[in-house]
Structures are given as structure tokens and as C-alpha cells.
Amino acid sequence: RLQEKERLLQELNGQYDELGKEVGAGDTDEVTFDTTFSRRHLQLMRCADFFHLRCPLSDLIVKAIQKNDFLSRLDDEQTAMMVDLLAVSSYKPNDDVIKEGTEGDSMYIVAAGELLVTQAGQTLRSLTTGDVFGELAILYNCRRTATVKAKTAVRLWCMERQTYRTIITNKSKKKREQLLGFLKTLVHELCSRGHILYPLSKIIDSMEEVKYQDKDVIVREGAEANAFYIILKGEVLVTKNVNGHQKQIRRMGKGEHFGEQALIREVLRTATCSAEGPVTCLSIDKDRHTIPPLHLFLWDPVTLGVGGFGRVELVMNHEEYYAMKRVSKKHIVAKRQEEHMLFEKKILKATQCNFIVSLHAAFKDTRYIYMVMEFCVGGEIWTKLKEVGRFDEPIAMFCTACVVEAYAYLHKKNIMYRDLKPENLMLDIKGYVKLVDFGFSKEMVHGDKTYSFVGTPEYMAPEIIKNQGHDFAVDFWSLGVLIYELLVGSPPFSSSEPQKIYAKILDGVLKYPPYMNKYDASNLL
């Protein structure tokens, strides 16, 4: 809009110049305009007046954005959009703009007046024209850490979280669509040459080859569906029980598939598939062993952990110990975590990996949701790290290798983890490291991007903070942060204030302690 106003102003100045030439060329003292020109002239004058009024305010907003550690990283186009989309609000003396402890979704820039910032009744500082406050709220839902009260009559520019995200994500999506358009012809060319595309190779990597002899039953009608099949070689006969007799439905050959519903939900087979001669298939299996919840015994005195999510308690089944995570339904609804809980259960139920904690059962009552998981007797890596200060390189390498194995398994299944930190790494009875807590995980096709703002501040990748859209690469950013913390004892980007953590991450300045110079870890990071 500002560029359009500048263009109109230039057009107006040009027409004034032409008008001056016409007046100088003639002898008449009177100049007349046709109706069309007069209306256009009036429109240009109004736009020019608005531009001149707006320009000083725009400069003030831009300067305020540029001097803020977080907002200064916006590009010119995003900054211009912010200038245009800021809303104006006014407050009287002693009015509270934001209150300590309340949740908010807006940031503010002071246009005029003075405000006081207080925390627990103590005055911290004052805010005047050009100052920015509350910017953390446009990133995610959080409680205000201080109260901001108008000392005089004030006028503020306000930006809501949804508006900010729209500005950031629209730019990223537009750029992504443009790049995808450029790549369409390249992808077509690669396909025509017979190149195997990356997503297809990943699907193949996650499947197992299974061979059958003539007349072998691959799946039986009425049985529980637990696998999906693609025929590589041979023929498969599909039959269905009709009045006690097997009726042939169809024949399937190379390249055809069956049983896909098994990967979506719990169903029974609707037909029998058997081999006609030797058959080779690719298969994805989802068989799981579960423990009947009625046979669990709760050890009331033993609590393994307590957090914002709920409580983890020790339970027993036939002399085997398990960790039972108990989460309040009320808490889940209040935090809008319904989808996250369901997805966490789905991931753990479908997971069979030695480096990811196993889920054995899940059930609920009127107040809680329960998830019975493998009991990792070694406890958290975070606890061990705090006990010794920092790990030696061999221990850090072993922990990292376990995480990489877990990542490889998850990424093959199109799952981003997004919550790596020492608190989410557990030691099992054999001393292996296992991932726990999949509340921030997301299922996504390789090549796509998501725009969620999730994770632990110290471990967030720059693209998450900037709302530019992120993919599986963020897991490896957090892996680098983990390696650093294991070797040093603290994360590379830390502060008591989240805004400063984000600013440090975006700056990307990494400082190594002297003893790390001899390690190859610094090169890896």
C-alpha cells in the first residue's frame, strides 16, 4: 500500500509539472480542466495527503520494529505488511493494557504517551514512544510476566497473533509455491528418465519382503487385519465365504495391493487372499502385544514423575513392572491437547523400535486417561547429566547414536518428533537410551511443511521461531543442541527470558568451551 501511495504521489507531481508547462506556454490567466482530469486530480491529492500523514507514523513503526531483537529479523515486505495491519487502540491514565498472570495474544508498539511496567507490585521500567512490549504473545499462548499500566493517556499500535502468523506464513507459502512451480518441470524430467523419487524410496524402506508358496493363505476372512501388502511377484486369489462356500471374487497380480484398511483402523478381514503359485509381497506389519488393564496392580507409594501433563506411577503385571502415565481429562481439554494425546497413543501403539519406549495398553475412566508403558529403570538422562555436570565424549556419542536410531525409525514412518531434550530420554534396564513423550510429534509427508509453533525454547530451530514452515530437519537441529548440552552441561542458547533465547537462536552464534577444541564434536555441530 505504501508503494502504491508513493506511485500516486509521483504521478501527482508529474501532472503538476505538466500543468506548469501548459500555463507557461499560453497567454491566458485561466486554466480549465476536463471533468475526468479534475476527479483524478482530486483522488491523487487525497492519496498524497494521506501518504504525507501516514509516512512519519510508518517511519516510527519501522524504527520500533528494527530496534526490537525479535522483530528486526522480518524482511522489508513483512515489515510493510505489519505497518499496514497494525490496529490503533487508546488507553486512559491508570488503565491496564496487560495484566501479570493473564493470557494474551497481542503485542504493542507505543505510539504516544508513557506506560509503567510492574512485576509483583515492583516498578521495573517505563515505556515511551517507539517501545515494543508483549511480543512473546504473538508466537504462542503464554501468561504475561508483568503488568503494563498507562501512566498518561496513551495510544498504541496493536498486532494480534493470528494476524502476525498470517503475515509470516503467507510469505513462506508464497515463496514455497513459487519454488515448487519452478521444480515441476524438473521433477517431470527426472520421472521421465526413470529416477526414483525420495518419498517412494522411503515407503519401500519401511516395508519387508515376504514370500509364500502355492495355496498359502496370506490373509484369512474374519481374522484381525494387521498388515498391508503389495504384490511383487505371482498371483493372489481373493475369495469370500458365501453360504458356506468359497466364492472367487478376483485375481490380483504384480503391482496390485490389498489390506490397506489395516493401517488406518482396527478391522477384520473381509475376504481371504491366498497364493496361486509362488508369491512375493512387500508388507507393513502393525501387530502389537497389549496388556489387559484389569490385571495391572498399582503401587500407590511409588511415583516415578510428576509434571504439567499429570503423573507417572509404577504398576505391575505378572511380576513385570510398567510405568503408567495418568493424565487428567480436564487438563487435556483446558490445554486443547485432545488431538496431541490421540496422536501420541497412535504413534506409540504402532511403534516397534528398540530406541523408543513401548506402549502396552491405553484406557480411560471418568476422570483420567491412562497409558501403560515400558518401565525404564535407569531414569532420565537429564538427571544423570545434572549429577555429573557433563558427559565424556564416548557417553555423549552413545546417547546420540541411540537418538539417531530412533529418528531413523520415526522419519521412515513420516513422523517428526519435535521435542528432543534430556528430560525426554530414558535409560532402560540394559543401559540403552529411549525416546519418550510424543505430545509434539506430527505425521507428515516428506516434502511438505507445517507451521505449528511447538517445542522447548532452547531446542527450537530458527524456522519454527520465524514461522517460515518447517519439516524433518528441525529434529536434526535439536540433535545438535542435545550433543552440545551433553558435552557442555547446558544448552548453547539459554536465558531466563524466552524472547532472548529466540534472539540468540536466530543470531546463531555458538561458543565452544576450550576443552571442546580437541573433540570432533565441534565440527559435527
User: Is 335 a known ligand-binding residue?
Assistant: yes
Amino acid making up residue 176? R
Determine the 3-state secondary structure of 67 from DSSP: coil
- Residue 447, pLDDT > 90, answer no
- Residue 307, pLDDT > 80, answer no
| Spatial CA neighbour of 256 closest among 229, 284, 217 | 229
If you average pLDDT over each of 335-344, 388-397, 492-501, which comes out highest? 388-397
More confident residue, 298 or 515: 515
Q: Are 491 and 459 contacting, i.e. CB atoms less than 8 angstroms apart?
A: yes
More confident residue, 18 or 33: 18
pLDDT digits (tens, 9 = 90+) for 372-382: 888 998 989 99
Per-residue model confidence (pLDDT) at position 15: 52
Beta pairing partners, 298: 315
When pLDDT is averaged across residues 13-27 and rounded to a whole number, the result is 48
DSSP 128: -
Across all residues in the chain, what is the average pLDDT? 80
- Residue 181, pLDDT > 70, answer no
When pLDDT is averaged across residues 390-395 and rounded to a whole number, the result is 92
Dihedral angle over CA of 165, 168, 170, 172, nearest 10: -130
Amino acid making up residue 35? T
Q: Are 282 and 209 contacting, i.e. CB atoms less than 8 angstroms apart?
A: yes
Cα separation values, 122 from 107, 326, 348, Å: 22, 39, 47
Report the C-alpha gap between 108 and 136 in whole angstroms: 11
- Residue 324, pLDDT > 80, answer yes
If you average pLDDT over each of 11-15, 19-23, 304-308, 387-391, which comes out highest? 387-391
Per-residue model confidence (pLDDT) at position 2: 53
When pLDDT is averaged across residues 459-483 and rounded to a whole number, the result is 92
Determine phi and psi for 448, rounding to 5 degrees.
Answer: -85, 170
Per-residue model confidence (pLDDT) at position 511: 85
| Lowest-pLDDT choice from 173-187, 199-213, 335-349 | 173-187
- Residue 259, pLDDT > 90, answer no
pLDDT digits (tens, 9 = 90+) for 428-437: 989 999 999 8
User: How buried is 508 (Cβ within 10 angstroms: 0-12 exposed, 13-18 middle, 19+ buried)?
Assistant: exposed
Give the model's confidence band at 37: pLDDT under 50 very low, under 70 low, under 90 confident, else very high: very low
- Residue 70, pLDDT > 70, answer yes
Determine the 3-state secondary structure of 102 from DSSP: coil
Question: What cell was used for 296?
Answer: 495391572
| Lowest-pLDDT choice from 43-52, 87-96, 349-358, 472-481 | 43-52
Beta pairing partners, 315: 298, 322
Per-residue model confidence (pLDDT) at position 423: 92
Q: Which residues contact 58 (CB under 8 A, 6 or more apart)?
A: 2, 83
Report the C-alpha gap between 37 and 15 in whole angstroms: 10
The percentage of the chain sitting over the pLDDT mark of 70, rounded to a whole number, equals 78
The percentage of the chain sitting over the pLDDT mark of 90, rounded to a whole number, equals 32
Q: Which residue has the cell 503467507?
A: 170
**How many C-beta atoms lie closer than 10 Å to residue 92's C-beta?**
9
More confident residue, 144 or 22: 144
- Residue 340, pLDDT > 90, answer no
Give the model's confidence band at 158: pLDDT under 50 very low, under 70 low, under 90 confident, else very high: very high
Give the model's confidence band at 296: pLDDT under 50 very low, under 70 low, under 90 confident, else very high: low
- Residue 196, pLDDT > 50, answer no
Per-residue model confidence (pLDDT) at position 5: 52
- Residue 222, pLDDT > 80, answer yes
Q: Where in the sequence numbering do the catalytic residues fall?
A: 419
Give the model's confidence band at 355: pLDDT under 50 very low, under 70 low, under 90 confident, else very high: very high
Per-residue model confidence (pLDDT) at position 390: 94
